[in-house]
Each structure stands twice: as C-alpha cells, then as structure tokens.
Structure 1
C-alpha cells in the first residue's frame, strides 16, 4: 500500500511539474539604450505580486582579481549571503554606502571569515578604499524572475501567462531606469529602452 501511494505521489508531482512547465513561456528581452545600442549587463526583474524570492538562504561570491570585481554586475535574491574572495596579490578594502546595504570589509587578503548578507532589495554599489577604479554592482531582488543581458543586450526568462510589472536597470543607475506593467500570453519578445 505504501509503495502504491509513493508511486502515485511521484506521478502526481511529475504531472504537476509538467503542467507548470507547459504554462511557462519563453520571454525574450532585448534591452537597448536611448540611441538603440544593445546594453550588456542590464538587469531585468519581473514581479507578479504573489511570488516571493524562493532562495532566501543562497550563497554567492564576487571575486577581486586584476583589481576588478568579477562579475562586475551580480543579481541575487533577498536573503543571499555573498563572500568576497581576494585573489589579487594586493589587499583590498571593499565597501558600500548604498541604502540597500551598507557594509565594510577592512583591508584584507584571501577570503573574509564571514559572507555579507543582503536582506533588502535595491542597488548596491561596491568600491575599494584602496583602488578607486574598482567598481561593482549587486542588484538585490525579491522575486525569482530575473536575468542579466548578454553583450547583445539579450536575455530569456521563462514566465507563466499573466500580469507582471518589470524593472530594468543599467549599471551606474541608483534605481531602476524603467518600471512598466505587462501582460504575458505565450512566448513573446519585449523590447526595453533604458535612458
């Protein structure tokens, strides 16, 4: 009896997963600047008003190498903790004065003992007190629907049909450059122009 229930439960979960994936449509996002040039590393986040961030205890890392933050733009969900390993032969002093997250990792080499948690959605600009040319960005979202564009200004998200609002952001902006509402019905292409 238990084996039959287990098989039925697995089959039910498989059917639910298949029906949910059948509803998901590929949404192609094309992001350009005001002059029509594709924008790399732009962040686009979709919100349906009911689906929160789904990975609140995630971990990530942003490496310092060749006196640069790598990657330069990172997207994480609220609750994610990020470590900042220093792979350079010089020490770094990583900080942020951004309202979404203020923190400071004083002069260090190697890997800091504790990762930094990012609990609030928003833009976090990173700098190094020793190397002024080092700039990086963390875009913290409270949704599971987000992506970063490639060098052609393109990315693809899977979204179920329905009503969404979306935000688009370009590195260097303090807040989203575009905020719009949209209805998704099947596979579609969305063109976004950032100021």
Structure 2
C-alpha cells in the first residue's frame, strides 16, 4: 500500500511539473505605422530543436462570395481538407500557388487549380475539395477576376496562429525556455527575421514590421 501511495505521489508530481511547463505566449504584431496588423501569421519555434507534435488535420470551407475569398487568410494544419464553394452567380476559378518568393522558384505544376460554376437559384452552390499536403503559405486567385486574392498558411506546428483585428495572436501550451517567433503576412516584401524570446509561464511581446497592409476590396 505504501509503495502504491508513493507511486501515486510521484505521478501527481510529474503531472504538476508537466503542467507548469505549458506556457501562454501573447504576440502583438504591428504594421509600419505602429497600428495593429491583422491577418498576420505568428509561428513559434522552440529553440530546443525538438520537433513539435503535428497538429491534427481539419476540414473547413473557404467561400467565394462578392468577388472575395472568405476568410481572406486561413491557418490550417498540413493534411487538412478544404472545400472551396462558389456562392456567386457567376463562374470562378480557384488557383492555389506558393506565396511570396517561394512562388518565383516553384515549378509550373506546383499548387492546384479548379473551376467552379456560378450558383443557380434554388440549387446547391458548386464546390470542390482540395487536400493541403505541403507546408507553407499559398496564395489563392481567380483567372477570371484578377482582384480576387486570398491566402492559406499550411502549418506543421500547433503554434501557428493568425492575428485578429487587434493585431494579437495567443499561443497556448507552449513549452517554456528559449524560442523563436516568426511573423508572416501576405503584404510583406521580404521574410522578416525571427525574434528570439525566452518563454515564461505568461509571456507577452510586440513585433514591429514594415508591412503596409493592402486595403481589402469591399
């Protein structure tokens, strides 16, 4: 009995120790003018080099409506399945290609392309599914309507979060210790250098950028 009690105490101590190592990191991303930057993707990388647990794939929908992709920016685990749906009454294409500098060196066949007919009154909208099997940012476009653009950041880590209108991203269950924070935004010209931080139980920081966000078409 005494041995069992000691084992139970040891397990409880280990559980508490593990819980104490799970931290919350709050990152506020700022545009060039110092205002909060929405739709930036914050990625945290522990400096230990130990690969994080892979997030489970999800199923989600990205809609084409009023000549826009909605949501405009999505952060999804690698392996996720996306259903593209056309709610407009006219035809759209969906073209997904590597975003930024990666797109300049990407082979012609990189990414995906599909065609969605316009929605007919009283009928279900046209849709098609795509599995995101490669990590990194993707730019979404339409051959017929050049002003349409959206983005999907395909992540291999659970610590990848999009900022809200307040420019803030909150990452949960982060291991304490040295880490790097990277920020990606659709309107950045060059990849931003990583910010080195020391993760404590509650950590908050601001990351300034030179990004001037493009006004979204209404």
What TM-score results when the alignment is normalised by the length of structure 2?
Answer: 0.73
Report the CA distance shift for 1:88/1:80 in structure 2 as closer, same or farther (over 3 A).
same
How far is 1:142 from its partner? 0.9
* Inter-partner Cα distance in structure 2 for 1:147 and 1:20: 23
Report the CA distance shift for 1:175/1:117 in structure 2 as closer, same or farther (over 3 A).
farther
Aligned-residue CA RMSD in angstroms?
2.5
2:78 matched residue in structure 1: 78
* Inter-partner Cα distance in structure 2 for 1:97 and 1:174: 17
Q: How do residues 179-190 of structure 1 correspond to structure 2 at under 5 angstroms?
A: 179-190=194-205
* Inter-partner Cα distance in structure 2 for 1:118 and 1:174: 24
Any gaps of 5 or more consecutive residues in structure 2? 1-10, 119-124, 211-218
Q: How many residues align?
A: 182
Q: Secondary structure at the match of 1:189?
A: strand
Q: Secondary structure at the match of 2:198?
A: strand
Match of 2:177 among 162, 173, 178: 162
Q: Secondary structure at the match of 1:133?
A: coil
Q: Secondary structure at the match of 2:152?
A: strand
1:39 matched residue in structure 2: 37
> Deviations along 1:133-178, whole A, 9 cap, x unmatched?
1110011111011211111211211222123222101123477434
1:54 matched residue in structure 2: 55
Q: Does 1:172 align with 2:187?
A: yes
Match of 2:152 among 113, 120, 138: 138
How far is 1:19 from its partner? 5.6
8 Å contact kept, 2:43–2:160: yes
2:25 matched residue in structure 1: 27
Report the CA distance shift for 1:92/1:174 in structure 2 as closer, same or farther (over 3 A).
farther
Q: Does 1:126 align with 2:140?
A: yes
Q: How do residues 86-105 of structure 1 correspond to structure 2 at under 5 angstroms?
A: 86-98=86-98, 99=103, 102-105=111-114
Any gaps of 5 or more consecutive residues in structure 1? 1-11
Report the CA distance shift for 1:68/1:162 in structure 2 as closer, same or farther (over 3 A).
same
How far is 1:36 from its partner? 1.2
Report the CA distance shift for 1:187/1:41 in structure 2 as closer, same or farther (over 3 A).
same
> Deviations along 1:30-49, whole A, 9 cap, x unmatched?
10023312101111011233
